[in-house]
Amino acid sequence: MSPAAGKHEGPPITECLRRVGSGDRRAGKELLGLVYEELRAIARGRVARVGRAQTVQATDLVHEAWIRLFANAPPGFENRAHFFGAAANAMRNILVEQARRKGSRKRDVSRKAKLSGDLPEVLPGAPVEDVLSLHEALGKLESAHERPAKVVSLHFFAGLSMPEVAEVAGVSLATAERDWKFARSWLQREMGEGGR
């Protein structure tokens, strides 16, 4: 178990979720922080255990974060929704962070050592530019089409199946699927243009 394991058990996450539930924006950020820290702690522990060459299935990361954070918290529907929202954002940050690091490694060999061994590769094979351009395009989509962007985030970054996305986003399956198609076309179009 990593040192972070005991840190967020019980009250902090419960309290945080309660505040998120009552619409507290700061609590939303705190939740993201908690989940993010947890994901990173797990990833670091994994690297320490199995060595750096190992690529990690991100599904497992999110999953394990869920177990750790919710070991003692009531796993109600609201909590699931908040958790996966936060987990999607956290995963996105981690991927972007990793992609930037890779990109910077190409240009700048003298990067700080601290950043280097933090994370195993979570998205094997994805070109750095793609991750960054998706991040950027998704940012634009969010400002124009909030719900479809959320569907993408949950599906892509939190690894939820479409029925689960629909449940967590609180929409019907048909709506979630239409949102996904729209957002996907919109993003691919956007990234295609950006690449030109």
Handedness of CA 114, 139, 123, 47 (dihedral sign): positive
Q: Which residues bind another protein (CB under 8 A)?
A: 42, 46, 50, 56-64, 66-67, 70-72, 75, 80, 83-84, 91, 95, 122-123, 125-127, 130-131, 133-134, 140, 144-145, 148, 152, 155-160, 164, 178, 181-182, 184-189, 191-192
In the complex, least distance from residue 142 CB atom to another protein, rounded to whole angstroms: 12
Q: How many CB atoms lie within 10 A of CB 116?
A: 11
Considering the complex, state which of residue 36 and residue 84 has its C-beta at the smaller distance from another protein.
84
In the complex, least distance from residue 20 CB atom to another protein, rounded to whole angstroms: 17
Three state DSSP letters for 25-90: HHHHHHHHHHHHHHHHHHHHHHHHHHCCCCECCHHHHHHHHHHHHHCCCCCCHHHHHHHHHHHHHH
In the complex, least distance from residue 147 CB atom to another protein, rounded to whole angstroms: 9
In the complex, least distance from residue 170 CB atom to another protein, rounded to whole angstroms: 16
Considering the complex, state which of residue 122 and residue 166 has its C-beta at the smaller distance from another protein.
122
Considering the complex, state which of residue 26 and residue 192 has its C-beta at the smaller distance from another protein.
192
∠78-63-94 over CA atoms, to 5°?
Answer: 95
